[in-house]
Structure 1
Amino acid sequence: MPAIYKEALRPISERVSDLLSRMTAEEKFAQMHAYWLILSSDGNHRERTDLSDEFAGVTEQAGLTERLKLGIGQITRPLGTHIVDAKEGVRAANRLQKTLVEETRLGIPALFHEECLVGLLCKDATLYPSSLNYGSTWDVDLIERAAAAIGNEARSTGCHQGLAPVLDVSRDVRWGRTEETFGEDPWLVGMMATHYVKGLQGRNRDLLATLKHYVGHSFSEGARNHAPVHLGFCELNDTFLLPFEMAVKLANAGSVMPAYHDIDNQPGHSDEFLLTTLLREQWGFDGLIVADYGGVSLLHQHHGISHDAAESAALAFNAGLDVELPKDDCARHLGQAVERGLITMAKVDEIVARVLKEKFRLGLFEHPYRDENGVALQTESTKQIAREVATRSITMLENDGTLPLKGPLRVAVIGPTADDPLALLSGYSFPVHLIISDMLEQTSQVVTPLEALRECLGSDNVSYAKGCHIIEKRMAGAPVFPGDSGGKPMQSSPVSNDVSLIPDAVKIAQQSDVVVLCVGDLSGLFQSGTVGEGSDTDSLVLPGVQQQLLDELIQTGKPVVVVMTGGRPYNLGGQEDKVAALLMAWAPGQEGGHAIADVLTGRAEPGGRLVVSIPKSAGAMPYYYNHKLKSGGTPFAFHFGSRYPFGFGKTWTEFDYSPLQFSQENVAIDDGIVSVSITVRNSGTVAGSEVVQLYVHDKVASMVRPIQELKAFQRVHLEPGASAQLTFSVPTDMLNFTRRNGDRVVEPGEFEVRIGASSGDIRSAGVIRVSGDTRVIAGKWRMVSHCEVSTSDSYIA
């Protein structure tokens, strides 16, 4: 008679209980961590060791074969760690899984995880646009489709958990990881994240999405990587926890990853209130909490709240952690922690039960292997979705009528990002993430703006000059430990100051009818680039000598169309009024060149809208549209504010708005709906789409509230002269905020409802009264607004 845990028809709880009763302490500890291996199909696996291990705090160990006999919780990035053909990678992963299933005492399979924020991070997978592009589409259904496509590629390679999405709410664009965020509005981030999770996980949650970085990571001191976060719980809950709560409650997210920083001196990896009380007990989260890479060892190495690895492991696991990633630097000392009384075996059993439950639920015991012939990457459908996201996200900030490009033109394509495939990718794409290797050969599927424009306009009509470099040679080696407390001295900036290429670019511009100048930054981890994880900045000036290149091109008198790509917005040194047009394309992925060319030539409209405000200067940072009234100082500082605010984006046409109308001007606080209608008309001569945005301002509250907050939006596409009536329904629950005692409440009173084309372009406003007694919001509450569109002359885009 087989063991109960091997009987597939038994209830999962019985299988977990039976297996747990058979496990030794060491076998239990093994389920609480991962191994980061270079896998081989011949079974000669080896541990990954390179410079990045210095950051993760891991050390090479001997006897991998012996340690694998105990089993393992997870395998870290089997295909995303090195350059390996996906089919061979699956074959190697199957070989390791065979060892675990057939050659260990209990036969417990491993769970494989990969990065998948902008596509599966492995060789030949589709390279999607960045999260800023996702957000800039203002299209949650499109992002759900993109995430579903990413999930399908991941499943085909045997991946069980994806380390995405990022729910950090942007506060300061100097932060290198801004490129990984959906934007600066917490509710929009929550909506995008919820749909990303739904798409990635599928209906059966057979691939775990991982919400990160829990929580407040993006509001770090000085916008520096890992820096402390200074937040009280009210703001933490209203701004930074909200997206996580939405993704847990609305999308049943399967995993959560704590962040590296500390909040008010409490590191995220040891915060029992956030990991257990709030996440599990109050929100009902039932998945796995996995450490950010090396995050447990940083409790003693950086934060200094424990003496050694055993104590760090005890702190993290007692707080609520389930699995240490990427290795077992601290978890391998759990036996010592138990002996010292730092953690109990009862707590270990509780954690291991959760890990085993998820493995049973995912079907790993019945289906531990993946068909190597079933790998499906880079299909026509995935490329089409990537192109659609890239195109729909491109945001036009300026246009004097030069765009779209018409007629036979001599076009000079200039700039360091015009023909660099890596410039279109963000930090968690495969070629950029492994930048220490020669990855240009891995970018053959990337279409650059130069290539796409030559295809659209004809090679004879397009000339090219690089103009300048951003970084002449991409290198790793920046110290990732603190540089002023015993770590390595900081390296010098890799950014190029070479101006020798500018004269040739000016000459080519003078021979053209119009200049398309491609500028921006290069994503790269830990200062191997100018944006990305560990690549923070102190300035919003274009990196290197790109501003000088722009200035000299403008002096030629030729119309200069600026296309900015990258992971954060930059200023143009006051030249915004002098350029012919300005497009934000962010990091548009492998199809980005096609998307840019389609918008430049009018084959597609610039449908994107900003999800991060572009501050006037670095001195305005941190800046975000939903700030408090007093944020700008008294009097308001000259440098405060944004030329291009949240929600902004021009199109080929213009739209008129009617005065808004409420269905009723007094709404009950308990179960009320704020219902408001407005008519939008395309007053231009060409078809186009508008993203109609609804903001709310709480006029008088018991706590200080932001000047306005996004509560609803809807995109409509209208033919010239056509109009559409939009009726928004906003539940009164969404008018809540957090009081000092930690409760979310809705207070009665007056709320100003504002509808417009952006946070800075409000077209109509009105006041509605919410009546009743103050209500505490708890458990499941109404988090989502809706919009109905009625007209025969429009369609929802």
Structure 2
Amino acid sequence: MLLRQSEGPLYRNPAASVQARVADLMARMTLDEKIAQLHAAWLKLSADGEHKARSIDFARSANEITVDEILRHGLGQITRPLGTHTVDPKEGVRALNALQRKMVEDTRLGIPVMSHEECLVGLMIKDATLFPSPLNYGATWNADLVGEVGRIIGEQARSIGCHQGLAPVLDVSRDPRWGRTEETLGEDPYLVGVLACHYVRGLQGERRDVLATLKHFVGHSASEGGRNHAPVHVGPRELNDVFMLPFEMAVKLANAGSVMPAYHDIDGVPSHGNRALLHDTLREKWGFDGLVVADYAGVDLLFSHHAVARDSASAAALAFNSGLDVELPGHECAVHLKEALARAEIAESTIDAAVARVLGMKFRLGLFENPYVDPERVDVKGAAASDTAYRVALESAVLLRNEGGVLPLNENGAEKIAVIGPTADDPLALLAGYSFPVHLINSGEPSTATMLTPLRALRARLGHERVLHAKGCDIIKERRAGAPVFPGDVSLAASANTHRDELISKDTEGIAGAVAAARQAGVAIVFVGDLAGLFQSGTVGEGSDTDSLDLPGVQQALLAAVVESGTPTVVVMTGGRPYNLGGLEERIAAQIMAFAPGERGAGALADLLTGRANFSGRLPLSVPKSAGAVPYVYNHRLKSAGTPVAYHFGCRYPFGFGLGYTRFRYSELALARRAVPIENGTIELSFTLENVGPREGTEVVQVYVRDQLASSARPVRELKAFARVPLAAGASTRVRVTLPVDMLNFTDGRGERIVEPGDFDLMVGSSSRDVHLTGMVSVEGNAVRTLPRDWRMVSEVRVEA
């Protein structure tokens, strides 16, 4: 029953305004109770209320505080109540309810606690749907589908009492050596921004009762040498135009509820202590009204690694002065805010402002009225969710090469098919680093026992006797615990390097058997790639960076031996980054980039390989020719190539590229106007798209723009519009694109987005390289235009029926 104001304190009256409730509650709070709202606790919860602390082994700050002491004054958030350990979801909800009951009934003011979980590729808890990686999301170029993924994850989160999901990752890929490349949506800021907006809207829902968390703010993917946590060297213009754009879009267009700073520093300023980013830009300039939450131990690192704070209290002061609201995952530094206050390193008004934001969000979420969750309504895995995971896997697989018509395979043929490679029968090879089974590698939990592998899926399609199998080699012979979470300390460097050298298998004994299998077959399908694992327990993932784009271990030797057998060879690459094939790209019959396609990825690949479905994925990032040329991205500036153009610069397969089992023709480009005004102008273009191939298919049309003359150096081209267009064989359609002039902006020396008058090249194509139609439009005006806060950020593509 809802309380009326007369029946209790004003803050318990749901009819009162959020502002009034916050003011009333804060007037009743002690300093200890306020500080308790500014941090989380990382506990192993139990339904009987006997909760146990989880040690934060990657934070230097040591607090000998009992669980009862942590909870005595209340708590801002509980960290991953169901994802911290393996627990049945219903039992996990009962344990969360027990904690919530303690907060509501046993603390003086009864302030409920918020719960957060990881949700990048589905809830990172036992039994939840295992979606494909974010690179797969990007490779679909299907914003509506990505929004549906977000909606499903949001519904699953609500069913377990989760109020905040730590996703999406909006880092714009810049260096595939970086282990977290798998977490990104690709290398183009506009593509990332559009997909992120749909994911955020889907996850949060119309009520915004599950908060999406935009991370990692900002520039994390441009780290020095592609190394985890390394400094970032970008100027303010590039930072705004490339890395901040997706965050700005998700804040302004999707009303994202939370933002998480990154671990690195930019020009010596760590993100968790960067007031210019967290306050001046995010809150003041963009109007962000959500919560800024720390990346795990990010506050502690201000003194333990960055050394810009002298101790935990100073680190807390620096972070909260800069705009932080909640320390995650624990309380290492926030509990020292009283000391920082006594030393005049922070003002109580700053603490109050953060507390007000935290409490305001709890009121908006309805936590005071509905603190508990019904365990019988838990729903984290269903047929509809799995079908959506399948659709993402199907639409994201990219066909890079198909010579001689080796694909699709003939389901009714008699020739043998050799399925080879270390990832052909390993379910973990289908999963990204932030999936729950990858976190359980060392636990013995049979979390992937029911997952179909590519080998099993192909045998189901083609018949067991027809499909030969030889593993050929391992990537990692034995999965085990990784290096320290934050490798980089001098004292840890030697052990980390030794561990990595021991991790990757160098055993070539199985290659001869693979060659024998290939020689018995009409086609050899070689499954290669990498294995996700955090902090060097795998070959890709957070902290699992690389110095090479060669296939890990002896996979290159395996592939070369199979190709030398003379059997037509199809390469299926799974994993979290693109790899080169050591010059074999021109000798293989076909190549597929499947990324990490999730729990239904094997079935999707079998459907595509046999032609039951057509390929429609397109690359969300370039495949550089050489690690020596990275960072390479399609939207580089001209001189990035060197003069003369460096031989190792560029890519074999460009951003936006992908083939299928049919072909498309572009024609009849038309511009509604060849000149548009700089003030609120809109570019309108249209063209005809025709399926001239033998079967139905989906083309991903892409529109790029180049500024012919600008006051600062500009990229050779930038994506400004895209859409998936399905067409039956022989069918054609008219595609119409409207592009706001605002989207031709770039950042000037003041840090403002401007549009300059002048001429712009328009390029319509099927990839950033394959341009089929070109035009030019003039933007007319008497002066440079500075964009307002609410500038038009999104183009529109309409396909005639």
Say which is worse superposed, 492-501 or 70-79, in terms of deviation: 492-501
Is residue 128–residue 589 contact of structure 1 (8 Å, CA) maintained in 2? Answer: yes
Give the counterpart of 2:73 among 41, 50, 70: 70
Per-residue CA distance 1:218-271 (angstroms, 9 max, x = gap): 000001000000111100000000000000000000000000000011100010
Distance 2:237 2:182 in 1: 26
| Structure-2 residue corresponding to 1:145 | 148
Distance 1:325 1:285 in 2: 20
Gaps of 5+ in 2: 1-6
Change (3 A) 1:212 1:264: same
Distance 1:445 1:745 in 2: 54
Residue 501 of structure 1 aligns to which amino acid in structure 2?
A: G
Is residue 12–residue 361 contact of structure 1 (8 Å, CA) maintained in 2? Answer: yes
Is residue 625–residue 646 contact of structure 1 (8 Å, CA) maintained in 2? Answer: yes
Change (3 A) 1:208 1:470: same
Partner of 2:447, secondary structure, is: helix
Is residue 446–residue 589 contact of structure 1 (8 Å, CA) maintained in 2? Answer: no
Is residue 153–residue 377 contact of structure 1 (8 Å, CA) maintained in 2? Answer: yes
Deviation at 1:482, TM superposition (A): 4.6
Partner of 1:554, secondary structure, is: helix
Residue 696 of structure 1 aligns to which amino acid in structure 2?
A: V
Distance 1:112 1:646 in 2: 38
Partner of 2:57, secondary structure, is: helix
Is residue 126–residue 590 contact of structure 1 (8 Å, CA) maintained in 2? Answer: yes
Equivalent residue runs for 1:622-633 within 5 Å: 622-633=631-642
Say which is worse superposed, 522-531 or 448-457, in terms of deviation: 448-457
Residue 448 of structure 2 aligns to which amino acid in structure 1?
A: T
| Structure-1 residue corresponding to 2:257 | 254
Distance 2:199 2:798 in 1: 23
Change (3 A) 1:445 1:669: farther
Residue 116 of structure 2 aligns to which amino acid in structure 1?
A: H
Answering whether residue 197 of structure 2 is matched by residue 194 of structure 1, we say yes
Distance 1:220 1:436 in 2: 29
| Structure-2 residue corresponding to 1:795 | none
Equivalent residue runs for 1:223-238 within 5 Å: 223-238=226-241
Is residue 151–residue 207 contact of structure 1 (8 Å, CA) maintained in 2? Answer: yes
RMSD: 1.0
Partner of 1:92, secondary structure, is: helix
| Structure-2 residue corresponding to 1:18 | 24
Distance 2:71 2:497 in 1: 39
Answering whether residue 540 of structure 2 is matched by residue 543 of structure 1, we say no
Q: Say how many residue pairs are matched.
A: 787
Answering whether residue 618 of structure 2 is matched by residue 609 of structure 1, we say yes
| Structure-2 residue corresponding to 1:123 | 126
Deviation at 1:719, TM superposition (A): 1.8
Is residue 293–residue 326 contact of structure 1 (8 Å, CA) maintained in 2? Answer: yes
Partner of 1:391, secondary structure, is: helix
Is residue 701–residue 766 contact of structure 2 (8 Å, CA) maintained in 1? Answer: yes
Is residue 522–residue 566 contact of structure 1 (8 Å, CA) maintained in 2? Answer: yes
Give the counterpart of 1:413 among 403, 415, 419: 419
Distance 2:60 2:194 in 1: 35
Answering whether residue 777 of structure 2 is matched by residue 768 of structure 1, we say yes
Residue 786 of structure 1 aligns to which amino acid in structure 2?
A: E
Partner of 1:55, secondary structure, is: coil
Is residue 481–residue 487 contact of structure 1 (8 Å, CA) maintained in 2? Answer: no
Per-residue CA distance 1:714-769 (angstroms, 9 max, x = gap): 21112222111111110000000000111100000000000001001001111110
Distance 1:534 1:57 in 2: 19
Deviation at 1:67, TM superposition (A): 2.7
Change (3 A) 1:309 1:613: same
Is residue 156–residue 375 contact of structure 1 (8 Å, CA) maintained in 2? Answer: yes
Answering whether residue 447 of structure 2 is matched by residue 442 of structure 1, we say yes
Deviation at 1:477, TM superposition (A): 3.5
Is residue 130–residue 598 contact of structure 2 (8 Å, CA) maintained in 1? Answer: yes
| Structure-1 residue corresponding to 2:473 | 468
Change (3 A) 1:58 1:393: farther
| Structure-1 residue corresponding to 2:541 | 532
| Structure-2 residue corresponding to 1:788 | 798
Is residue 479–residue 488 contact of structure 1 (8 Å, CA) maintained in 2? Answer: no
Answering whether residue 433 of structure 2 is matched by residue 403 of structure 1, we say no
Answering whether residue 678 of structure 2 is matched by residue 669 of structure 1, we say yes
| Structure-1 residue corresponding to 2:697 | 688
| Structure-2 residue corresponding to 1:109 | 112
Change (3 A) 1:517 1:60: farther
| Structure-2 residue corresponding to 1:779 | 789
Residue 213 of structure 2 aligns to which amino acid in structure 1?
A: T
Give the counterpart of 1:296 among 287, 291, 299: 299
Aligned-pair identity (%) = 59
Give the counterpart of 1:313 among 312, 316, 322: 316
| Structure-1 residue corresponding to 2:456 | 451
Residue 44 of structure 2 aligns to which amino acid in structure 1?
A: I
Residue 227 of structure 1 aligns to which amino acid in structure 2?
A: A
Give the counterpart of 1:3 among 9, 34, 43: 9
Change (3 A) 1:183 1:85: same
Deviation at 1:59, TM superposition (A): 3.3
Give the counterpart of 1:216 among 214, 219, 222: 219
Residue 717 of structure 2 aligns to which amino acid in structure 1?
A: Q
Is residue 40–residue 77 contact of structure 2 (8 Å, CA) maintained in 1? Answer: yes
Equivalent residue runs for 1:266-345 within 5 Å: 266-345=269-348
| Structure-1 residue corresponding to 2:3 | none
| Structure-2 residue corresponding to 1:794 | none
Deviation at 1:608, TM superposition (A): 0.2
Residue 474 of structure 1 aligns to which amino acid in structure 2?
A: R
Deviation at 1:202, TM superposition (A): 0.3
Per-residue CA distance 1:674-703 (angstroms, 9 max, x = gap): 111111111112111111100000000001
| Structure-1 residue corresponding to 2:629 | 620
Residue 395 of structure 2 aligns to which amino acid in structure 1?
A: R
Change (3 A) 1:243 1:23: same
Is residue 165–residue 213 contact of structure 2 (8 Å, CA) maintained in 1? Answer: yes
| Structure-1 residue corresponding to 2:734 | 725
Distance 1:550 1:175 in 2: 24
Distance 1:444 1:202 in 2: 33
Say which is worse superposed, 403-412 or 179-188, in terms of deviation: 403-412
Partner of 2:465, secondary structure, is: helix
Distance 1:244 1:484 in 2: 31
Answering whether residue 387 of structure 2 is matched by residue 384 of structure 1, we say yes
